[in-house]
Amino acid sequence: MADNKALATELEAREVAEHAREQVWEQHSFALSLFEGRFELDLIHPYPGPQPEEQERAADFLAKLATYCLEHIDGDQIDRDGHVPQEVLDGLAELGAFGIKTPREYGGLGLSQLSYNRALAIVASRCGSTGAFLSAHQSIGAPGPLLKFGTDEQKRRYLPRLAKGALSAFALTEPDVGSDPANMSTTAVLSEDGSHWILNGEKLWTTNGPRAEIIVVMVRTPAPEGSPRKPITALIVETEWEGVETVHECSFLGLRGLSNGVLRFTNVKVPLENLLWEEGKGLKLALITLNTGRLALPAFCAAAGKGSLEMCRDWAGSRVQWGRAVGKHDAIAQMLGKMAADTFAMEAVVELTSGMADAKTFDIRLEAAISKLWATETGWDIVNDALQIRGGRGYETHASLLARGDTPYPIERYLRDMRINTIFEGSSEIMRLFIAREAVDSHLSVAGDLIDPRAPLGRRIKALFRAGFFYAWWYPSRWLTWGRWPLYREFGPLATHLRFARRASARLARSIFHAMVRFGPGLERKQAVLGRIVEIGSEIFVMVATCTRARVLVRDRPTDRSPYTLANLFCLQARERIEDRFRRLFRNNDAATYDVAQEAMKGTFSWVEEGMIDEDWVPPTAGPVGGSDSGEVELTSVNEGEPEPASTG
């Protein structure tokens, strides 16, 4: 049972989140254009490509990394032991894998986001836990925030050390802080002489935390004079300092080699110069860092998709039942075909978003969130289907298969390791809300005061006139979008899908407007409706990524048109999903389902639960280590309610 603590109100929590978000779109966003019905394909086509010199350096590193992983990383042994050996991490550090994106002037490799994601995929193909160490360290751990927001002195002091192998972590999550940072209780106050901060509190699900040397810790600092809000601030903390301790190491369903635990800070003295960025900008720092930090998870998912496809392709072609290879049976063929198309789409998303991040000319907050949401949910479907295709052998562990002489494909481990991805670094539910909020930003800037119950009458009247003028041209323009032949002829057989995407983008923009008119201020509570809006936009984005990727591959190898085959199948299936979401946008059973859920929480249907032995599920203790039940795990914990990522919690 959750504790009945004095937690932040809904309004307070929303204000904290809104205060932390980036308020202005200073650069282009292709995904935002999709939600607004503008479909600016020229932003990403031609496809953003890597720099030849960087790719040459990256190729040498990736080749050495692949050799090292093959010879020294045994994912199944790490899974059984529940521990990544220190010598494995040391070897990765010697290769430069702890500073892949860190500039060479600070001892790193100075490689791109694209090369970084490819490196993570190589490591994760051998062991998800080891990949998580590198991701938690670099995606949201100390190097990322330092590069973006650190002072020159902080960079000189910490980046070389981090690149050499000093493990880092990020600590945000607490027992009452998952997706909602408004309830944060960890504090830092200035000492009486003003020479340092005094840090006190406890952090939950901090990935890398028990083995980290350097941690970015999110804390509440005293409220400025005249402000009721205690701001959230980021501090750089070294674990060797007095008062820092690991009070519990967590264990999980998957990623069993992960180092993740509950950290306690008791009167820790933090030097003033270890303030990261500015007081009160800690949560904004976390959210901005996650824009690129989230791109690691799609890379992991694409690697799992590739591995699943290879294992299932072999099995489907060699396993004979009822006189035919199982892959010849339509039920299995449908799963295998979708797996191939989805895996290609995932890699296309990774390549596109990595290129956008490297270009540094895009605001990728939406692209990163969509990639994380779509890839983690699709990746889970892929490994789940892979287990189904393998049947009993998919459910059997690697060790058991090996012991009895069967092909020891590690699908069971894949499944357990993949399950966390829809939870950490922003759960799927939080991602849908985050994406929805950003997608309607232009509408709120025009008509936000109309639906804000706190806005005074004068502001509402001004907003009414402003909205009238704006929508008088905006709405008709979303009906006049041309999305027919001969647009996009250079994409050959995929042109029809891009034309559909263009039309669907305009329809999506109109549907968002219809939802705002229909539900008004209540739209923010219609999370199922918002979820469908986000899913439509996400599918359109992935369709475009897949088509542009296929076009590049066929351009480079004209005799091989197989990328068109995969992209075509993906788009056909994505179009079905898009049409389904449009059909159910306003005609659905959401209200009935919500009502049943509320009655279930009241105990109305407790009779359904009869027949269970559950008396010892909640032992009679004062409370769990790490505080109360918060319902989330964090592997990267930055913002959205889960284990902190292969980042922290």
Residues in the chain: 649
β-bridge partners, 643 = 634
Cα-flanking dihedrals φ and ψ of residue 358, to 5°?
-70, -30
**C-alpha span between 293 and 175 (Å, rounded):** 23
For 171-187, b/e burial (b = at least 16 CB within 10 A) is bbbbbbbbbbbbbbebb
**C-alpha span between 626 and 334 (Å, rounded):** 45
β-bridge partners, 190 = 197
Residues 6+ apart with CB under 8 A from 136: 168, 169, 170, 207, 208, 635, 636, 644, 645, 646, 647, 648
CB 555 within 8 A of CB 490: no
For 262-294, b/e burial (b = at least 16 CB within 10 A) is bbbbeebebeeebbbbeebbbbbbbbbbbbbbb
Amino acid making up residue 135: S
Amino acid making up residue 226: G
Cα-flanking dihedrals φ and ψ of residue 154, to 5°?
-65, -40
Which residues are marked as active site? 425
CB 43 within 8 A of CB 545: no
- In order, the DSSP letters of 414-433 are HHHHHGGGGTTTS-HHHHHH
Question: For 115-259, where are the E strands, in sequence order?
Answer: 168-171, 187-190, 196-207, 214-220, 232-238, 244-249
CB 614 within 8 A of CB 403: no
- In order, the DSSP letters of 121-144 are HHHHHH-HHHHHHHHIIIIISTHH
Cα atoms found within 13 Å of the Cα of residue 270, Cβ hemisphere only? 31
**C-alpha span between 66 and 430 (Å, rounded):** 35
CB 637 within 8 A of CB 173: yes
Q: Which residue shows structure tokens 């250079």?
A: 490
CA dihedral 529, 533, 535, 537 (to 10 degrees): 180
Q: What angle do CA 254, 433, 231 make, to 5 degrees?
A: 90
β-bridge partners, 198 = 189, 269
For 61-88, b/e burial (b = at least 16 CB within 10 A) is bbeebbebbeeebbbbebbeeebbbeeb
9 secondary structure, DSSP code: P
Three state DSSP letters for 29-88: CHHHHHHCCCCCHHHCCCCCCCCHHHHHHHHHHHHHHHHHHHHHCCHHHHHHHCCCCHHH
Give residue 166's region: left, alpha or beta (phi > 0; psi -120 to 50): beta
Q: Is 198 helix (H, G, I), strand (E, B) or coil?
A: strand
